[in-house]
Amino acid sequence: MTAGLWEHWVLPGIWITIQLTVYSAALATVVAFGVGMARTHRLKTVRFLAGFYTEVFRGTSALILMFWIFFVLPQLAGWSLVPMWAAVLALGLSYGAYGAEVVRGALNAVAPAQREAGVALSFTPWQRMRLILLPQAVPEMIPPFSNLLVELLKGTALVSLLGIGDVSFAAYLVRLATQESAQIYAITLVIYFVIAFLLTRGMRALERKTKAGIGRRPDPGTGIMRKLSIRRTTETAPVPTSAGGGGA
């Protein structure tokens, strides 16, 4: 592979992959907290709507959603999105639905007495959420969020099927140019692995920081592959139903 291919296709591709990951993760976080908190709302209608959202977006395939936003939405709505933002919207909405389950689970896992204490002190629901529930729930969310972030990074590869020039698309072009597949695809896989590794390191630092804020420390982790293992072992024995893979 020549330097020109690197400079014009692969490096910009890496940059687009990173951009897609960051923007989609930002959107997914907003969706996850909004929908996840709505699922603990006292009104049944709000809970139902939030539940409906998660089931629909968790039920469908991210790739089909992406194609739908890209091809069908313009015809139905009369306006279209730039490919990049269509992809961000699709990824953010579907991974946000997975994240909402994480938020809901973490909020429900806060000891009920904490909530009752808030009621006894006549905090408003929003004050309870902001001052009592979230500070304790957020550190618990970070390991599953870290896994979802890696899933999201993997999900960004789907955009290459829409012709967006991310690193997978660059690999496709380089393959056409050099007539050699093994090398460029191996490099691409390594690039994704390195980005995933860096993301998890960052999330682990974030976990340490938020847990220190409430006077706790992260679990040291187990197993021989502790240093290398990227994913957190959120899979524990009676395995929760919400642990399903994000896909892609």
Partner 1 sequence: MITTASSTWDWSAVADFMPHFWDGVLVTLQALVLGSLISFSLGLVWAIAFRAPTRFVRWPVGIVTEFIRNTPLLVQLFFLYFVLPEWGIQFSALTTGIVAIGLHYSTYTAQVYRAGIEAVPAGQWEAARALSLPYRRTWTAVILPQAIRRVIPALGNYVIAMLKDTPLLAGIGVLELLQRSRLEAAQTFQYTEALTVVGVAFIVIAYPSSLLLRALERRLVR
Contact 99, 142 (CB under 8 A): no
DSSP per-residue letters across 153-209? HHHGGGGGGGT--SHHHHHHHHHHHHS--HHHHHHHHHHHHHHHHHHHHHHHHHHHH
Q: Which is nearer to partner 1, 134 or 243 (CB)?
A: 243
The upper half-sphere exposure of residue 204, i.e. CA atoms within 13 Å in the direction of its Cβ, equals: 16
Q: For partner 1, give the closer residue by CB, 24 or 156.
A: 156
CB 215 to partner 1: min, Å: 28
Whole-number minimum distance, CB 122 to partner 1, in Å? 37
**Strand runs labelled E in the chain:** none
Which residue in 100, 90, 106, 103 sits closest to 50, CA to CA?
A: 100
3-state helix, strand, coil in the chain (%, to 5): 75, 0, 25
Min. distance of Cβ 72 from partner 1 in angstroms? 5
The site for partner 1 (CB under 8 A) is made up of 55-56, 58-65, 67-68, 71-72, 74-76, 78, 150, 153-158, 160-161, 168, 171-172, 175, 181-182, 185-186, 188-189, 192-193, 196-197, 224-225, 228-231, 233, 235-239, 241, 243-248
Decide whether 82 or 113 has the Cβ nearer to partner 1.
82
Nearer to partner 1, 114 or 229 (CB): 229
Report the candidate in 207, 177, 188 with the shortest Cα–Cα distance to residue 10: 188
Question: What is the closest distance, in whole angstroms, from the C-beta atom of residue 113 to partner 1 in the complex?
Answer: 27
Q: Which is nearer to partner 1, 83 or 247 (CB)?
A: 247
Closer of 111 and 225 to partner 1 (Cβ): 225
In the complex, least distance from residue 9 CB atom to partner 1, rounded to whole angstroms: 15
- Record the tokens describing residue 132, joined without a space: 């009592």
Min dist. Cβ of residue 196 to partner 1 (A): 4
Task: Provide, rounded to whole angstroms, the least separation between the CB of residue 234 and partner 1.
Answer: 9
Closest CA to 26 of 82, 99, 83: 99
Report the distance separating Cα 31 and Cα 150, nearest Å. Answer: 17
Q: Which is nearer to partner 1, 82 or 182 (CB)?
A: 182
Count CB neighbours of 235 within 10 A. Answer: 10
CB environment 196-234: b (16+ within 10 A), e (fewer):
beebbeebbeebeebbeeeeeebeeeeeeeeeeebebee
